[in-house]
Amino acid sequence: MEDIRKIADDNNLVIHLDGARILNTCAATGVSPAEYTKHVDSVNMCLSKGLGCPAGSVLSGSAEFIAK
């Protein structure tokens, strides 16, 4: 991911992580969400897949990125 981040930066690109099941992955691996997402600009988390909610998702990123 560090290499991909460098390529994105060199080419003025952003990286989005489809984190639909990121909480499941974190629970299974013991790796924190912060560690998984430290090289991306945005990530989405599906509440129905990750937390068993009836519906909904969360889009996260820097305030500047979300504003764009």
Pairwise pLDDT comparison (12 vs 57), residue with the higher score = 12
SS3 label, residue 65: helix
pLDDT for residue 7: 98
Alpha-carbon gap, residue 33 to 27, rounded angstroms: 10
Q: How do residues 26-65 score in pLDDT, each as one tens digit?
A: 999 999 999 989 999 999 988 887 677 788 888 999 998 8
Q: Return all residues near 20 (Cβ < 8 A) that are at least 6 apart.
A: 44, 45, 46, 49, 50, 57
- Locate the domains of the chain by residue range: 16-60
Q: What is the pTM of this model?
A: 0.77
pLDDT for residue 24: 87
pLDDT for residue 45: 87
